[in-house]
Amino acid sequence: MAKTKVELCIGGMTCQGCVRTIENKLSSVNGVEYAHVNLGAGKAVVDYDDNLTKPDELIRAVEQVGFQVSRN
């Protein structure tokens, strides 16, 4: 397993419900070990196995639930 960490900038979050939605979506991606979203900073930190997923897949997952996202 090749554990990797990525930080994503997320736009459009307004509440803790948004945080939970994004954390749940990221956690559902195969290979994600940990996802933490910080509402105030507008960022997500994701630890994942890069043999199972890639940052582009994480970005698509966040976009699927209606938020803007980019790599930091």
15 half-sphere exposure, CB direction, 13 A CA radius = 1
Instruction: Mention every residue, 6+ apart, whose C-beta is less than 8 A from residue 5.
Output: 45, 46, 47, 48
Q: What's residue 69's pLDDT? A: 97
pLDDT digits (tens, 9 = 90+) for 15-46: 999 999 999 999 999 999 999 999 999 999 99
Q: Which two tokens stand for residue 33?
A: 């070990």
How far is 14 from 12, CA to CA, in rounded Å?
A: 6
Domain boundaries, the chain: 3-71
Predicted confidence at residue 1, as pLDDT, reads 65
Give the whole-angstrom CA distance, residue 69 versus residue 7.
Answer: 10
Q: Is 3.40.640.10 the CATH number for 3-71?
A: no
pLDDT tens column, 46-69: 999 999 999 999 999 999 999 999
